[in-house]
């Protein structure tokens, strides 16, 4: 069995450079409003978010995840990263190629520094081969889908709200990805009415997923 030993933070930083050199930066993310790119609703810096997908390759202190919309994400692990399968804690070495996982943590473009890695059972949207529910995968040169489903908060404007982290961001990210797997939630904001918006990149649709105050998805565009 491939055994990984998590190393100190300074080593993780060096590993990240090596890993990114191996895995190409996803075209969809570089072409869209990733954090700091200056695009619509762009915000500088990294923020809490996550991704759901299939483990494609495992390396020391990191692994690659492929989403159902064919986006590749590098997951950086740390000594503080928590690992679970269902409600049970597992070891970092239990994460293997082919696992369907939900990763929560700090998102910076195509890289996530994981706070939690949750191995999922099949049929929860994690598999790279499972259909994304209504998600339009990114295709270079193709216009983004102009459609809206459900409810969008009244007077909402792109860029509004306050970026949240911790439990709030994790619950919103998990709910958003359960309904719309395939993209990468790169930040969660709390709106003035107490609802949430999960900003979704790496797909042509949806880019904005709205959740109620109790983290139920109510709309998207």
Of 121, 87, 115, nearest to 101 by C-alpha is 121
Average pLDDT (196-207) is: 95
Whole-model pTM above 0.85?
no
Hey, CA dihedral for 205, 56, 44, 176, is it positive or negative?
Answer: positive
Percent of the chain whose predicted confidence (pLDDT) is above 90: 63
CB of 115 closer than 8 Å to CB of 81:
yes
Does the structure show a pLDDT above 90 at 118? yes
Q: Report the first-to-last Cα separation within the chain, whole angstroms.
A: 43
Mean pLDDT of all residues belonging to the chain: 81
Helix (H, G, I), strand (E, B) or coil at 13: helix
Nearest to 141 by CA among 204, 59, 221: 204
Lowest mean pLDDT among 40-49, 118-127, 141-150, 191-200: 118-127
Residue 206 has pLDDT above 80, yes or no: yes
Look at residue 131 in the predicted model and tell me its pLDDT. Answer: 43
Is the pLDDT at 212 greater than 60? The verdict is yes
Closest-CA residue to 215 (of 150, 183, 153, 169): 169
The per-residue pLDDT for 87 is 86
In DSSP notation, 54-83 reads EEEEEETTEEEEE-TT--EEEEE--TT-EE
At 20-50, the pLDDT tens digits run 333 333 433 433 433 333 333 446 579 999 9
């Amino acid at each position: 069995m491939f055994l990984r030993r998590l190393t100190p933070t300074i080593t993780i930083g060096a590993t990240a450079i090596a890993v990114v050199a191996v895995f190409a930066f996803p075209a969809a993310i570089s072409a869209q409003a990733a954090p700091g790119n200056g695009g619509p609703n762009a915000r500088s810096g990294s923020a809490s978010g996550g991704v759901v997908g299939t483990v494609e390759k495992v390396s020391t202190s990191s692994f690659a995840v492929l989403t159902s919309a064919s986006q590749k994400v590098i997951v950086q692990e740390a000594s503080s990263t928590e690992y679970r399968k269902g409600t049970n804690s597992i070891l970092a070495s239990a994460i293997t190629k082919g696992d369907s996982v939900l990763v929560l943590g700090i998102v910076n473009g195509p890289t996530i520094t994981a706070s939690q890695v949750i191995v999922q059972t099949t049929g929860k949207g994690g598999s790279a081969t499972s259909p994304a529910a209504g998600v339009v995968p990114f295709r270079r040169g193709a216009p983004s889908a102009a459609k809206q489903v459900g409810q969008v908060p009244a007077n909402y404007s792109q860029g509004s709200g306050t970026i949240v982290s911790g439990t709030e961001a994790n619950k919103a990210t998990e709910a958003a990805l359960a309904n719309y797997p395939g993209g990468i939630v790169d930040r969660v904001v709390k709106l003035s009415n107490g609802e949430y918006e999960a900003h979704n990149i790496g797909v042509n649709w949806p880019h904005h997923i709205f959740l109620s105050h109790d983290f139920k998805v109510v709309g998207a565009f």
